[in-house]
């Protein structure tokens, strides 16, 4: 059994985005009849959340066996044996510590980490640490390793809590979207006045005649369906995500709007530039959150430039939202933006959402 570096694999940020994507995919595939369960958001959060392990140190145990120990790196013995590999009889001790939680989390790199992560093995639901000794047995190194493992686990716990909250919110919003979509489809079909039949006819019923095949032509050949367009693209600085961008995106979704927002629309492996370009070009409006942080950042300003080019034909695309800024700050950044009617987040989130919806209509 070869010891490995723990907490040294995929970033917790990538894990979080992947779990959110998996939740979105599952909700989109669920039958509409399953969406009315009030406990569904919590169950989905349980399914796609991460469970940071908890060590059960009281149940730890050890195993030992005789082995050959390489002492070539021991400076106290080099004078006797010289350089090169040299083995001596010794004892190998393996200490096992049971834990509860997801073993895969030991491969995840937390948001905070150092340059010297712990080394050990994950065997089922136990951590294993192996040490070899020739003379006196000293487990000081083991104590330091366990302290380091605990520290890394504590660094991961805030991400566990935040991910669960985000999953519950995302599930609630997605369920609302699915229900509204189902209702819209039913309303459209109802307005057609055409009876809807089940996919499989009742047993004993006469089979419906198969339609006569029609020769295809290039003109009428079915084209590949594009990804759905968005109603709104949200342009913001990362530092404004918690204060306004995420709450705004979630609230707009509950209003039945489709929103391009990085946490909703970017999937693991996506090209950031291509995804943003697609969002910029295929969203009806762009909500631009102007803030002190926005004015300092290069990337949000490039997104704003992209939205500006779409107004060349005279259509209004940009909907400004002022966050912790006033007229003078916006004017210094862009006189043309300062001249636009904007809504200020100091009026409250509900007012911001109301003004955006009014502007779109």
Q: Who wins on pLDDT, 188 or 265?
A: 188
- The C-alpha atoms of residue 41 and residue 120 are separated, in whole angstroms, by 36
Over range 271-281, report the average pLDDT.
Answer: 70
Contact 155, 112 (CB under 8 A): yes
CA 175, 181, 187, 192 torsion: positive or negative? negative
According to the model, what pLDDT value does residue 221 have? 31
Amino acid 211: pLDDT: 42
Task: Indicate the pLDDT class of residue 270, thresholds 50, 70 and 90.
Answer: very low
pLDDT at 48: 92
Give me the domains of the chain, ranges plus CATH numbers: 4-12+53-160 (no CATH), 230-360 (3.40.50.10140)
* Distance separating alpha carbons of residues 245 and 177, to the nearest angstrom: 19
Instruction: Read off the pTM.
Output: 0.51
Q: Where are the beta strands (DSSP E) in the chain?
A: 4-5, 54-55, 61-70, 87-100, 119-123, 126-133, 230-235, 259-260, 283-290, 318-322, 343-344
Render the burial of 140-153: b for 16+ CB within 10 Å, e for the rest.
Answer: eebeebbebbebbb
* Residue 303 a catalytic site member: yes
Pairing of strands 61-70, 87-100: antiparallel
**Quick one: pLDDT band at residue 296, thresholds 50, 70, 90?**
confident
Average of per-residue pLDDT across 230-259: 87
For the chain, give the mean pLDDT: 80
- Kindly tell me if the per-residue pLDDT of 76 is higher than 70: no
Given the residues 17, 126, 160, 303, the one annotated as active site: 303
85: how many CB neighbours lie within 10 A of its CB? 9
pLDDT in tens, 77-129: 554 555 556 777 888 889 999 999 999 999 999 988 888 899 999 998 999 99
Q: Contact 105/152 with Cβ under 8 angstroms?
A: no
176-220 confidence digits (pLDDT tens): 888 888 777 777 767 766 666 655 555 555 444 444 443 333 332
């Amino acid at each position: 059994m070869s010891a490995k570096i723990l907490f040294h694999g995929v970033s917790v940020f990538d894990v979080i985005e992947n779990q959110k994507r998996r939740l979105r995919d599952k909700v989109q595939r669920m039958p509409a009849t399953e969406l009315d369960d009030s406990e569904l958001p919590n169950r989905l959060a349980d399914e796609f959340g991460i469970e940071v392990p908890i060590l059960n140190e009281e149940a730890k145990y050890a195993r030992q066996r005789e082995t050959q120990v390489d002492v070539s790196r021991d400076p106290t013995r080099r004078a006797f044996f010289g350089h090169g590999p040299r083995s001596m009889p010794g004892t190998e001790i393996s200490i096992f510590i049971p834990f509860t939680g997801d073993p895969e989390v030991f491969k995840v790199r937390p948001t905070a980490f150092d340059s010297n992560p712990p080394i050990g093995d994950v065997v089922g639901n136990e951590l294993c640490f192996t040490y070899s000794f020739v003379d006196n047995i000293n487990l000081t190194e083991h104590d330091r390793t366990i302290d380091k493992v605990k520290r890394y686990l504590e660094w991961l716990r805030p991400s566990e809590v935040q991910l669960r909250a985000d999953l519950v919110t995302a599930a609630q919003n997605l369920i609302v979207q699915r229900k509204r979509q189902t209702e819209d489809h039913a309303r459209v079909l109802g307005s057609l006045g055409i009876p809807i039949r089940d996919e499989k006819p009742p047993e004993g019923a006469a089979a419906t005649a198969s339609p006569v095949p029609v020769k295809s032509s290039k003109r009428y050949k079915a084209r590949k369906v594009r990804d759905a367009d968005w109603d709104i693209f949200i342009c913001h600085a990362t530092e404004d995500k918690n204060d306004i961008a995420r709450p705004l995106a979630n609230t707009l979704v509950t209003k039945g709007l489709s929103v391009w927002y990085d946490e909703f629309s970017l999937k693991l492996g996506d090209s950031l530039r291509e995804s943003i370009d697609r969002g910029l070009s295929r969203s009806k409006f762009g909500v631009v959150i102007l803030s002190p942080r926005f004015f300092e950042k290069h990337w949000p300003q490039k997104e704003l430039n992209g939205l500006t080019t779409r107004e060349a034909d005279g259509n209004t695309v940009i909907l400004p939202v002022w966050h912790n800024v006033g007229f003078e700050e916006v004017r210094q950044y862009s006189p043309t933006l300062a001249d636009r009617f904007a809504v200020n987040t100091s009026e409250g989130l509900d007012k911001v959402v109301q003004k955006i919806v009014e502007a779109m209509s």
